[in-house]
Structure formats: structure tokens, C-alpha cells
A and B are shown apart, each in its own frame.
Chain A
Amino acid sequence: MDEELDNWFAREVLSHEPALVRYLARIWPRHHEVHDLRQEIYIRVYEAALRSRPQNPKSFLFTTARHLMVDRVRRERVVSIEATADLDALNVLVDEISPEHHTSARQDLRRLADAFDMLPVKCRDVVWMRKVEELSQREVAARIGITEGAVEKRITKGIRLLAELYYGGDADDIGGATAAARTETEHGKQNAD
């Protein structure tokens, strides 16, 4: 257990997740695999960082992403020619296509708030009480009259969905190699709990 390494990973690697997912979605034709790729890339980066931390975490992250995709393309031979050609063309441009987005704290908060708004309503209520009103899970349970186990469950779901929406974005939403269609109603719909 290396807390310092974990903090480094959250700060220097995870912070690039939106750019990383965009990058993957743009090149990788099978969208449903983007988050699996993302996870595999994190594993590779973390493993490397256990040995020694890369000097430039961001470019290391994207280089790892590219290597992984190239490996897959070679192994599977199923990716379309366009995607492969594009992959080669991008070799020197990784930094340029994932420019640092100088988002303000306010823009980050807005994205967080937008992600929060997309949570299913039961989940959303619990996250609000826990994070905004700062009630404990026990107090939340008492407030709405459900068990603590049920509160924990909703929080579990809330955490996963927030990460999807805020950090990674939904690969379909971001689009890319397979140009995702999207309508506003689809985007804003509330899932049932």
C-alpha cells in the first residue's frame, strides 16, 4: 500500500481521463470497449509507476494508450483500415490532440453539477444529503426512512455513475470513430433506480 503513489495516480493520471476517453473513442472503432481499454491502460501505467514514476505522466499515459491499441490491432487484425491509418498518423500528435483544457474551477463545478443532475432521482437525493447537507449515511437513512444498507447501495451506484459522467464521460456521448448520434432527450433522460 503506497498512499503517496495512489495520490500521485489520482492527480497526475486520472485527471486526464476525459482527454484519454476522447482519444480512445476517436480511434477505437468499437465503442463499448473504450472503458475496458481505459482500465487496462491504468493498470499498465500504475504497474510502471510502481517501478519508477514517469517524468511526464500525461505523455506516458497517452503513449501507453497508443501502444495498447497498436498491440490490439496487431493481435486481432479486426480493426478497420481507416482506424489503423489514423493511428499511425497520430503518432506525433498525441499532445496536440489532447490539449490541456484550461477549464476554470467554475467550469469543473458545472460539469460536476451536470453529472449530478443526471443521476437517477433516488441516488441523487442521497448524494445531495450526504455531500451537500453533510448528513452521515445513518442520518440519511433516518431522514428518508430506509435502511442503512439501502443508503449504501444508492451511494455505491451514485459513485459509479458520477465517475462515468464526470470523469470519463460516456464514450457514446463523446463520439469519435463511429460518430455517435445523440439526441438531447436521450442525453438528459433519468434512469430508473
Chain B
Amino acid sequence: MESRTQIEETAARWVARRDRKDLSQADEQELAAWLQASIAHRVAFIRLDSMWREANRLKALGAGVGVGVVPAPGEWQRSPFLGKKAPQGRPVTVQTASGKPRNRPVVRLRVLAASVLVGAIAVGTAWMMKSAGPAYQTHVGSIEGVTLADGSRVLLNTDSKIRVEISATERRIQLNRGEAFFDVAKDPTRPFVVVAGEQRVVAVGTKFSVRRFEHRSDEVQVVVTEGRVRMEPPTSAVKLPPVTVAAGNIARGSGAGVLLDAQPERPVDEYLTWRTGFLMFRATPLAEAAAEFNRYNATKIVIDDAAVGAVRIGGNFRSDNVEVFVRLVERSFPVRVERHGERIVLTAN
């Protein structure tokens, strides 16, 4: 029997041959016969033929490139169709306290995150004491949906807490902890404001998530799937302009400014797979993946070894299925697993 690779090879050859646009009648007949011979041939041909037609879109990359020049890999990224690319392959803009936007790789954020405005903590606490609206919270591992009085819907991720205050002029949600996805009912007269630490995220009618981080308390991640939101930086000494975050964008705000990733390397929905109980990793360092699992489970994965933590993994997993995840890691990598009560310790083997 013909193997898949043989069939694909033949199919690709036919697509390439037909691309010469000089098929003789005998060739046409031969192709037709080959396609008739089996459905395996046919589906392989359709697949590669539509790929070759899809490749017509590469034409967009030719903008601004001289005739007869084939740009080196990555060079075409000057194309106006794609925007500029940051050195690490991700377009980002950092708004600094000086107000000047600069291009910086994402790692930069870790530095920004370190700067916390101590004064703001007192302000936040005072506000919380004032607020009297209902509060909702989830335990580790649970995900809960809430419909608010204005018709907006909120999906609370694991170990999260919000407080809701709806007035005649504003809908204000305090995200005290964790992460929530908001499907906002349209109401132009009452802006929908999510307050996460010092960061204000303002929407009218849209869908987006806001996440806070346990160990980086001033940092906020905003993922927008529909419409747009405005991130208003803290009302601290330095006045920063608000940043608009559109559908498909991811933004991170911290005390020092907002970092906007307008073309995230993965579609934004992949950052929100938690809504259906899944975690999705793609070339994610094991340490990061473990930290994600730890958000959802009482059993915590502990990695003491930096080399183990740096191993990159991919795949989709149920967020509550930490056992399967650990077994797969154990099987696929030279990693030793030890269980100590609710701690699963991974070390190099």
C-alpha cells in the first residue's frame, strides 16, 4: 500500500506540474486518472492545491521590496501589512514613565513589575472599605459564572474574587484577586470599569479578561476578544495617557506603565482556554506550566531545578488533571517525580 508521504509527494508534484500551466492533454488525463484511483489521492491533492493557492497571499510581502531581490528571512517584516517586529519576534510597545514609547521585548516587563508604588496600597485599601456592593469569589480549582444586575456576565477563574458596585453613572468591578472574563452589556451611559490594583480597565460593550498575579501584585494582564477597552494607568505623580487595547490584543499594566502586545504570537482565545477547563501550552517553560497548574489545584508542583524548569512543553491539558500532566512529563523527559503529601517535586533524573 502507498504510504501517506508517498501520496503527498505525488500530489505535490502534480500541483507543481500543473503550476507550469503547460499540461498536455495526456498529462491532464494522467492526473485525472490518478485522482480517480483513490480518495486518499484526492484529499491529498485538494489539500496541497489549496495550500499553493493560499500562498498567493505571500504577494503582500513584496511591498517595498525591489524586483529581483529575495529578502532574507524576517526582512519582509518591514511590510506595512505586518507592522514592525520586535527583536524577539513580537511587536510590543512600552510606555515608560517619561511618556516616550519604545520598542522592547516582553522580558522587559519583569523589570517594570518590580517597581511598586507603596503609596497606592493605602489608597486601594481605603476604596475597598467604602465599597458596599456584592462580592463573589471562587475557590482553588473552581470556575463560576455570575450575571450582574446590568446584564453583564462575569466568569471567575480559580481562586478569584471580585466586588461589584453598580451606580447610575458607573459600573465598577474591583478585581481583588485572580482572573475574570467579562462579557459586558452595552450601556454607553455607564462605563464598565474593572479596577485591579492601581490599574483601571474601562469598557463600554465588549469582551475581555483581567488577571492579577499572586506574586506580582501591581501587575495586571488584559486580554480583549471583542471590541476595545481603555487602560487607565494609576493616578500617580507622573501623568501617563490611557492606552487603548483592541480585540486580539494583550496588554500588561504595572505601576510603571502599560505594555501592549498588538500581535500576540498566539490567538487571544488560547490565553482564555481556562473558560472551558483547559490549559494550553506551546513551547512553554515547564516552570511556567507548573505555576499555571498550581493556580487550579491544591496539589502543588514544585520544581527546584532550573534546568528542569526550563524544559519547554506543549499541549492541552485539563486544568484539574495535574496527575496526568506530571505522568506525561515524567515519561517524556529525564525528570524524577517524588510525592510529598500535597507537593509533587520534580528534579532532574
CA distance A89 to B320 in the complex (A): 12
Interface size on A, residues (CB 8 A): 77
A166, CB-defined interface residue at 8 Å: yes
Interface size on B, residues (CB 8 A): 74
B330's nearest neighbour on chain A, judged by CB, is A179
Q: Say which residue of B15, B40, B58, B328 sits within 8 Å of A132 (CB atoms).
A: B58
CA distance A183 to B74 in the complex (A): 19
A77, CB-defined interface residue at 8 Å: no
With a cutoff of 8 Å between Cβ atoms, the chain B residues found around residue A47 in the complex are 39
Known: A25-B315, A138-B20. A93 touches B276 (CB 8 A): yes
B70, CB-defined interface residue at 8 Å: yes
Q: List the 5 closest A-B pairs by CB distance, nearest first.
A: A175-B314, A117-B73, A132-B62, A96-B276, A42-B43
Comparing B5-13, B131-139, B233-241, the segment that makes contact with chain A is: B5-13
Max chain A Cβ within 10 angstroms of own Cβ: one of B9, B15, B17, B61: B61
Taken residue by residue from 66 to 86, chain B's Cβ proximity to chain A (1 for < 8 Å, 0 otherwise) reads as 011010011011000110000
Interface residues of A (CB under 8 A from B): 1, 6, 9-10, 14, 17, 22, 25-26, 35-36, 39, 42-43, 46-47, 82, 85-86, 89, 93, 96-97, 99-104, 106-110, 112-113, 116-118, 124-125, 127-134, 136-138, 143, 148, 152-153, 155-157, 159-160, 162-163, 166-167, 173-183, 187
With a cutoff of 8 Å between Cβ atoms, the chain B residues found around residue A106 in the complex are 81-82, 263
Q: Say which residue of A46, A112, A127, A176 sits within 8 Å of B314 (CB atoms).
A: A176
A18 to chain B, nearest CB (A): 10
Interface residues of B (CB under 8 A from A): 4, 7-9, 12-13, 15-17, 19-21, 32, 35-36, 39-40, 42-44, 46-52, 54-62, 65, 67-68, 70, 73-74, 76-77, 81-82, 225, 248, 263, 267, 269-270, 273, 276-278, 281-283, 311-316, 318, 321, 324, 327-329, 331-333
A26 touches B58 (CB 8 A): no
With a cutoff of 8 Å between Cβ atoms, the chain A residues found around residue B312 in the complex are 181-183
